[in-house]
Every structure is written in structure tokens, then in C-alpha cells.
Structure 1
Amino acid sequence: MKIVAITFDLDNTLWDVEPALLRAEQAQREWLLQHRPGSIEAFDHETLWEFKKSLWKRHPELIHHVSNMRIRMLYELQRAAGYDEAEARAGATKAFAAFLAERHRVELYEEALEILQLLARDYRLGALTNGNADIYKTDAGEYFDFAFLAEEIGASKPAPDIFHAAIALTGLEPGQIVHVGDNPDHDIVGAQSVGMRTVWINPRGLPWTEDAPAPDGEVHNLKQLPRVIAGLALGNRASGDTGQSY
């Protein structure tokens, strides 16, 4: 079956997310320190993490809505510090905006733009993410035809919903779409469950240990991806190490 579209996970597939998240958390903290004194000073990394976990337990309806969950956390921090509801809601919105601005200042992997430009000549490209990064606010946005966030869909990978959304939008058969991602469960097993073909981004060369079929292809970096996609188009299961079937 001819490959027509490629969907990508974003965080740790097209960029290393950790530096952007660290900057985003710091920007959020600095906003609170300046504009909502008393709301964040008592929290370090560990205690804030515990606060987040307690929030997840109290608001399970937000588990797939990472942006709303963060806004709720910022609101509750300010309410606990004595700010009234209006101040806390306004502050949560502004602190989140400070977070999100840095969240989108991602540094794509060195080879990413070149590879995306190459693939976009022959395939429709889409983004499917559990995070709250907007591909169109990054340097890679011009190469993408569509994007879905789990918080828009209401379910996170590996649930099939976001993959079904891509299938419905493109009007393609699942086997005409290849999903590329770094997470064995969320990306590979999730995409397999709806019949998509899959390529695993595996930079550390880890063994496949999931209780599911191995991905159709595997690469250690994005430079290997066009060759592996070409192999899949010929009906091969391919490794980026050699470009050979296996």
C-alpha cells in the first residue's frame, strides 16, 4: 500500500524537550515571584511535583488536558496564598502565557528541518502530540499540513483517538500513514492499534521489549528516516543502521 502521509510525535522526536521545559518552568516561576508574591516561594522542584500529583488525583477530568491542568495548578497556588478568585484566574492565565512562550522556544535536532523539507516534497506531514507544543509556533511549522494535540481530542496516546483524527482528516487508509515517534507505548503501540505503519526513533539503540509487534522501521536519528520510509514503501521492514530489510 502506497505511503501518502507521515505523522510525527514532537517532544524528543523532533527536538529535545527538556531544555525548553526547564526554561518554561523558570519563566513561570519568575512571573509568580514578581506578580504574585507568596504563591511559589515555599515550593521547590520536589514539593511542586507533589502538589501537581495531588491535583491530578483531585481533577482526573483534566488528565488529558495538560494546559488546563497547569492553569488549574497556577490558580490553586495563588488561591492558597490568599489571592482572590479574580486575581488568581488572571494570574494563572498570565503565568501560563509566560510558560508557553518559552515552551515553544524549542531547538530542533540539527538535521530536523532538512529532513522535514525533504519528506514534505513527497508526503503529507502531520503532528500528533500528547504535549501542548504547537508545531506552527516552531521553525518546522511550514512543513506540516495538519496537527492534533491530545488536549484538543480529549485523549492521550496510546489511546486511538488522536490517530483516528489523523486518519479522518486525511481520508487515507491507516496503512497509508506512517507514524514516527520515540515512545514505544504511546507512539508505536498506539499507532499499531489503528493499523498505521510505524517508525521508532531509538537514539540509544534500546531493544524492543513491548508486548507488541516490533515497529515497521527503526532509526537512531532523523537523517536515517527518508531511507527507512522508502524501504517501507517497497514493503520492507527497515533499520536505519543499514537500510536493509530485517
Structure 2
Amino acid sequence: MTIKLITFDLDNTLWHTDPVIARAESIQWQSIITCCPKANTQFTPASLQQLKLKIAQQYPELRYKLSLFRIEFLFQIFIECGINKVKSRLFAQHVFADFLKARNQVEFFPGVLTVLENLQQDYQVIALSNGNSDLTTIGLDHLFHAHYHAENVAKPKPSDDMFLAALEYAGVEAHESLHVGDHPEQDIEAAQKLGFKTVWANMLQQQWPNSMSKADHEITHLNQLIPALIQYR
């Protein structure tokens, strides 16, 4: 069996996401209170969480649209601070831009650039991510043939949508494809159900759930992916 397509998750597969999001959230809050100092005393972590829940109930169509949901959340913060709608929209877009810039300042796991450059020579390589990272801003867009995420397909992983979009784009079957990701359910189990070969990217040294079928391979460094692919040539 020959592998022709390799799909990659991004967050916690090519970089550690938690510190990136924590920093981006901090920058976002500083941007909010720069636009509206009143927000610093008007909101608590609990009240902000309640606002998110309210938006989720009011706009269920934004459930999987992370960027649009965040912009609406920011807009509502400024509205509750008593700012008019026009200015609130402008502030929301400004703050979101600050967040997104920080969200795309990532530190690659060792070997990422070298491995992706090598894979480009022999495979179609497609990114599948539930997040809203921007490969162009990050500087990886030239190493992927396509990028599917929750905002340009109907549903995020573990739904089939992204995987099927990648298969259609590449013009291959699932048995000719291999998915690399960190999440047992959203990446490995979802890909297995469609017939993909799977690689668990265990960069953060997690324990595999005992109740789930293991991936075909486990790697703790992206360089280990290259030898794992030899058997599929």
C-alpha cells in the first residue's frame, strides 16, 4: 500500500498551543481595557464566561466559527460597557486583530520545518485544524497544498467533513492517506473510522486512553515520522 496524502493537525501537533493561547488572551484583555478602561472593573472571569454562554445560546450557528464567535464576544463586551454599536464593532475588530496576531506567534516543535519540506517532495500535504491559526501569517502556507479548518468546512473534527474535503482535494482514497494528530478522538479515532492510517503525535507526553484503539504509530518527535512512512512506499 502506497501513501499519497498526509494530513496534519496543527495545534499541539506542530506547536504547543496552550502557552500561545494564554499569551493571546492576555494581549486581548489588555487591548480591551485600552479601548474601554471601564471593562476592567465591569467584568469578572465568571461574568465573561456567562457572556460566552449567552452568545452560544443566542447564535448557535457560530458554534464552530471560532473567529466570528470571538468577534461577537468582543462586540458584546463593548456593548455592555455602554459603547454604541458602530464603535463597538470597530473596537471588536481591532481587539480581535491583536488577539489573532498573538495567536499566530507560535514556536514550532523541533523538526517541523525540515520534515514538512521533505514531505513536500513525495506527498500531498494538507492541514486539518479545529483552530483558527493562519498558515500564511505563521509562515507555513508554502509547505501545505491546502488548509481545512472549522471555518471553511461545515463541521470540525471528529466530524468527517475535513477528512473528506482533503480526500476530494487530493483525489485519493482513505487507504492511500495518513493522518498525523495529537487528539485521540478528534484526530486518531476520526481518521481511523474513515480508513486512514494514523500517527499519534504525542509531543506533550500524554497517556493514551485505555478504552480506545491505538494509532498505527506513535511519535514524540516529528523526525520519527519519516522512518514510519518507509513501510508505505
TM-score bracket relative to the smaller structure: over 0.9
Question: Is this contact kept in 2: 1:104–1:133, CA < 8 A?
Answer: yes
Which residue of the partner structure matches residue 16 of structure 1? 16
Which residue of the partner structure matches residue 206 of structure 1? 207
- How many residue pairs match? The answer is 232
Distance 1:137 1:152 in 2: 17
Structure 1 residues 2 and 134 mapped into 2: Cα distance closer, same or farther (>3 Å)? same
Instruction: Measure how far apart 1:10 and its partner are.
Output: 0.4
Q: Secondary structure at the match of 1:83?
A: coil
Structure 1 residues 3 and 50 mapped into 2: Cα distance closer, same or farther (>3 Å)? same
Instruction: Measure how far apart 1:39 and its partner are.
Output: 3.0
Which residue of the partner structure matches residue 55 of structure 2? 55
Which residue of the partner structure matches residue 72 of structure 2? 72
Stretches of structure 1 lacking an aligned partner (at least 5 in a row): 235-246
Question: Is this contact kept in 2: 1:33–1:39, CA < 8 A?
Answer: yes
* Overall identity of the aligned pairs, in %: 34
Report which stretch shifted further, 35-44 or 61-70.
Answer: 35-44
Instruction: Measure how far apart 1:78 and its partner are.
Output: 0.7
Distance 2:175 2:60 in 1: 34
Q: Secondary structure at the match of 1:214?
A: coil
TM-score normalized by structure 2? 0.92
Superposition RMSD in Å: 1.8
Question: Is this contact kept in 1: 2:202–2:220, CA < 8 A?
Answer: yes
Structure 1 residues 151 and 41 mapped into 2: Cα distance closer, same or farther (>3 Å)? farther
Structure 1 residues 70 and 210 mapped into 2: Cα distance closer, same or farther (>3 Å)? farther
> Quick check: 1:107 aligned with 2:107?
yes
Question: Is this contact kept in 2: 1:8–1:128, CA < 8 A?
Answer: yes
Higher relative contact order (CA 8 A, sep 6+): 2
Instruction: Measure how far apart 1:165 and its partner are.
Output: 0.6
Distance 1:76 1:4 in 2: 46
TM-score normalized by structure 1? 0.88
Instruction: Measure how far apart 1:208 and its partner are.
Output: 4.0
Which residue of the partner structure matches residue 83 of structure 1? 83
Distance 2:20 2:165 in 1: 27
Instruction: Measure how far apart 1:145 and its partner are.
Output: 1.1
Question: Is this contact kept in 2: 1:198–1:215, CA < 8 A?
Answer: yes
